[in-house]
Amino acid sequence: MRILSAASSLPPHYYPQALLRDTLKAYWGGRLENPRMLDRLWANAGVEGRHLARPLQDYYSLRTFGKTNDAWIDAAVELGSQAVCRALASAGREPSEAGALIFVSITGISSPSVEARLIERMKLPLHLRRIPVFGLGCVGGAAGLARAADYVRGYPEQIAVLLSVELCSLTMQLDDFSVANQISLALFADGAAAVVVAGDKVEGANAQSTGPEIIDSRSSFYPGTLDAMGWAISETGFRIVLSPEVPNIIRDNLGRDADEFLGSHGLTRADIGCWILHTGGPKILEATQEALGIPQSALAASWEMLRRTGNLSSASVLLVLEETMAHRRPLQGTWSILAAMGPGFCSELVLLRW
């Protein structure tokens, strides 16, 4: 099993972080009790600018769940088709070669689901195995990659495509003044990413010019943490649930999980030469570094993508993968871990070898 390519698609509407902050402050005006706290949260977010699904002025009219979800469907289909096209082209593959399409998102809902809407648009196979996944949040990119690997393990002559589309701006709650929502507004953004995974019997899949081999994956669930992260869903849509305990959950669990997973393959953390981790936010990345006992430089790609694009939920780790494959490719034979954590609370670890 091998990753052939990874490609992203970001909306054309890009805004510097300062402009987004000032626009929000102006909208809230005197309703915001502590503007200085908002300034501090945004200054500490580590984000330079973000892409939004719609022009900034459009968000004032998106005041119902129905309107925002309709906007999500339109943008998800457009960005999703772009990401899949780019990933297939980068892999040198045709849409007709796809055996399965796994679609991951947590920022909107659709039936028919987005991958179904892409079949006619992209001339995908009519017998394509469709696997829509909702609810995994930030862990979804890593979990989706693991499920794509599971699929081609069972069908080694086929190609699976993973698509993640997250349009976090369309979940924005403009009347929620909670700290959790203010953190969310400072961090999350919009984008899509696709990954092409090939089974061992796919011609050309073992060429050295392609991406890393997928060796194994492990999912871990942490009891008693259901309230740590997720959505409170109401008439107004998705309202962020984000506990300040999330960094501590990472510190308490991720290092142990990594050691157990690597140990099952006769490896240790010292054997990992390339870490591909979900961008999260500064506190998440710092907790990850502490949990794994690695320096900030080991997560340079994650910090860079956080700065450039913000947190794209499930798509973030796939953008880090794309960045690594394109600009930070390790030497052949290097062991690598791709990982993310998310609602549940849970983690997904994927062992790669370049």
List, by residue number, the catalytic residues: 138
Half-sphere exposure of 172 (CA within 13 A, CB side): 24
Q: Which residue has the tokens 């919009």?
A: 190
Cβ proximity of 163 and 102 under 8 Å: yes
Cβ proximity of 52 and 190 under 8 Å: yes
Distance CA 306, CA 301 (A): 9
Distance CA 322, CA 6 (A): 5
Distance CA 306, CA 279 (A): 6
Cβ atoms within 10 Å, residue 85: 16
- The Cα-based distances of 145 to 105, 317, 352 in angstroms read 13, 10, 11
Distance CA 189, CA 10 (A): 10
